[in-house]
Structure 1
């Protein structure tokens, strides 16, 4: 509710507003811009058009709606748009204050000067990674898909406008499967699905936002990683190795080792970033582990399992409706009911558990 007694109803984005004049419903384009308001009869009450950088090309007399370009707050007095962390001046195509991360050569640039291709609500990005099919002969192989969706929707609930990239290993999946995963997050404008065929592409995306380029890019400097989560098989070899293609013919190409993560650029991550690994043995060998090396490389906090992780209870507590949806679609678009938990098999006499790693 604002000071004028207007009540705004929000789901993952704005749905409607209600005041003394009635209820208006918001309509958005693929970029997330408000393009129209309609009343209860479906009649358009206000139209909006913008240029590339968000300057409004249409003006309605006495329009009190403050949520316009990118679906964000428009200050009518200054003409600035509040994009969560900073005010943006569309007349200049620049932020009016410095990037809080203070990375790159230009701390005021917006969307790498390409707002048609990029959406940048905060200049920050979350990444979730799914390994390939859980098993080649598994009757239900979506463990790494539904747990990733659980994390995606949790992030969206806590920060609806943050950009999320969902990276999926192609091991065992077809293009039709990838399209189904995209459908699960459609029409969320701020969730991108990227398919990879080898682990180097994951490192490339971390550094550049492009699976084909390994160098730190301006696009990544403008959109550093704040949260990272990975759901996959994990091996004890090499003090912890992520097996993004376990059990498949291209499994060697999809192993993510400590030596590969050393190719990550620390500047790709935001200060105080948080990473979570739900694979087996990522944190088993302590100061020598994959998780410790990741924490050192990202300068952030990392959570990882000592010993084995357990995906066997990710659906415990689900409703019949969710079970039925899974039978129809193969997987539940809302994600798993629970995240993986520590396994039960002792490693060197110690029970599996989630460990916290900080840079050393």
Structure 2
């Protein structure tokens, strides 16, 4: 994509989350993810940043390696940035999602979300005809999240589904998925 005269390429993982970014000058930034975005690094720039998020996954601070606060963000319920202090460029904001700096809309994998109107700018292709094809999080962004752009769920469901997808180490040194917990004999 071209952004302010610069060509920027993104690399996505199987969940359609950005895991790397390359600018036209050759700078590559890698994003490390856990339950949300955790940190980023750039070998060329020799930088490492740690992301701090709130209970919804919104990035509230970006810290340097030395724990210096470089960026600070505050949001309203729908994701509009109401307070911003930014020393380093950052495109991940509300709910840890990627903000397009040109349009000021969030990319939610399937479509773009506009926080000013609190709605998606494209209709939901999963639900066909209906009255709420542009609605974001059932008009309740405090209680729900929609990282895919197709399905909203509770804020807690974001963490539960991630726990089910990734195995956990058990005391015996083996691995056990969240769905195997009840059937385990260890």
Shorter-chain-normalised TM-score: which range?
0.5 to 0.7
Please identify, of 53-62 and 81-90, the stretch whose mean Cα deviation from structure 2 is larger.
53-62
CA contact (8 A) 1:72 1:81 kept: yes
Match for residue 107 of structure 1 among 129, 133, 141: 133
In structure 2, the partner of 1:116 is 142
Q: TM-score, normalised by structure 2?
A: 0.68
Q: CA deviation at 1:85?
A: 1.1
For residues 162-177 of structure 1, what are the structure 2 equivalents within 5 Å? 163=153
Alpha-carbon distance, 1:322 to partner: 3.6
Distance 1:50 1:18 in 2: 25
Answering whether residue 61 of structure 2 is matched by residue 36 of structure 1, we say: yes
For 2:157 and 2:51, locate their aligned partners in 1 and report how far apart those are by CA, in whole Å.
15
Q: Which residue of structure 2 aligns with residue 3 of structure 1?
A: 22
Q: Unaligned stretches of 5+ in structure 1?
A: 126-162, 166-186, 194-317, 324-331, 340-360
Q: Which residue of 2 aligns with 1:320?
A: 172
Q: How does 1:210-359 map to 2 (within 5 A)?
A: 320-322=172-174, 334=178, 336=180
1:87 aligns with 2:112: yes
1:336 match: secondary structure: helix
Are the structure 2 counterparts of residues 62 and 319 from structure 1 closer, same or farther at C-alpha, using a change threshold of 3 Å?
A: closer
Higher Cα Rg: structure 1 or 2? 1
| RMSD between aligned residues | 3.1
Q: CA offset at residue 8 of structure 1? A: 1.3
Aligned-pair CA distance for 1:334: 4.8
Shift of 1:319: 8.4
Structure 2 SS opposite 1:46: strand
Give how far 1:88 is off: 0.4
- Structure with more of its chain in strand, by fraction: 2
How far apart, in 1, do the equivalents of 2:31 and 2:173 lie? Answer: 30
Matched, 1:16 2:39: yes
Which consecutive residues of structure 2, in runs of 5 or more, have no partner in the other structure? 1-19, 162-169
Change (3 A) 1:112 1:9: same
- Asked if the contact 2:99/2:105 (under 8 Å) is kept, the reply is yes
Q: Is the 8 A contact 1:31 1:189 kept in 2?
A: no
2:158 corresponds in structure 1 to: 190
SS of match in other structure, 1:3:
strand
User: What SS does the aligned partner of 2:180 have?
Assistant: coil
TM-score (norm 1): 0.37
Go from structure 1 to structure 2 and tell me whether the alpha carbon gap of 1:62 and 1:37 turns closer, same or farther (over 3 Å shift).
Answer: closer
- CA drift at 1:13: 2.2
Give the helix-richer structure, 1 or 2. 1
Q: CA deviation at 1:62?
A: 5.6
In structure 2, how many angstroms separate the alpha carbons of the residues matched to 1:87 and 1:24? 26
Whole-Å Cα distance in 1 between the matches of residues 46 and 156 of structure 2?
A: 30
CA distance in structure 2 between the partners assigned to 1:24 and 1:110 by the alignment:
30
Aligned length: 148
Q: 1:16 to 1:191 in 2, by over 3 A?
A: closer
